[in-house]
Amino acid sequence: MESCEIIIEAGKRKKGYLKELVSFGELIYFFSWRDTIVRYKQAFFGISWALIRPLLNMAAFAFFFGRIANLPSDHVNYCLFVLAGMLPWQFFSNTISETCMCLINNNELILKVYFPRMILPFSQVIVQLIDYLINFTLIMVLVLVMRGVSLATLSLLPFCFVLNIALCFGASLWLSALTLRYRDVRFLIPFMMQFGMFVSPVGYGTFMIAGPLKWLYYCNPIVGIIDCYRFAFFGIKHADFFASLGISITVTMAILVSGWWFFRRLESTFADKI
């Protein structure tokens, strides 16, 4: 019987990479399910932490910024205002924090088995999506009970979600590849997330930002996404809403496209860098 030998050469990029990703759908499901179970394994409250964390953050913001600093929320209940900002922000920050190490944590698989490496960051985005859906259900229940929702703009939520997940996936491609190449990145990410929360309108409204530097502020892509969620939920928007949203869309698409290109460029070298 003739033997069959398959050679996988570094640097050879297959055509139809997206089609190949789809063909590995079962592996994406396995990684997502595995990481979801491991994440809450042996935790006393289990998946309830997906609700507890945003509620604790909301309580802290409501006390320090709502009560003490008395920041305005454009006539919307301040707790709901903060939750609408926490929803996209936590999805983004949790994805970045968990995804940056996904290649390093699966080093044995990368060294021994072939599969599209992009599956690893993508499966982490799906894991964080579970928390996102739980938080989304929470805020929807609250805005309906407290009658703070704007039915006229609620149909924009799918657009907000697509923009949010595009930013998460693009940033995860960049940072997972960078962390594998430069291990110092993993030490910078917690600081970046802490700093990013304060330069993003989570506990305050974008309408408070004034002066010529506001256009630099709008270059933070999560700004337009948070404003989009608040507009969809409550119908509120600031004077530069559409301009900041346009900048956010542009920056998000640039991060997604360049992240895909950067990840694919380094993908053939991952086994050498582990």
Q: What is the pLDDT of residues 45-89, one digit of tens each?
A: 566 666 777 777 777 777 777 777 777 777 888 888 988 999 999
pLDDT at 3: 55
Using the Cα atoms of residue 237, residue 242, residue 244 and residue 245 in order, give the sign of their dihedral: positive
8 A C-beta contact, residue 255 and residue 174? yes
Q: What is the pLDDT of residues 4-47, one digit of tens each?
A: 555 555 445 555 788 888 888 888 888 888 887 777 666 555 66
**Dist. CA 10–CA 267, nearest whole Å:** 9
Q: What is the pLDDT of residues 111-160, one digit of tens each?
A: 888 888 999 999 999 988 988 988 898 888 888 888 778 888 889 999 99
Instruction: Check pLDDT > 50 for residue 205.
Output: yes
Average pLDDT of span 174-194 = 89
pLDDT at 253: 97
- The pTM assigned to this predicted structure is 0.87
Average pLDDT of span 224-249 = 93
Kindly report the length of the chain.
Answer: 274
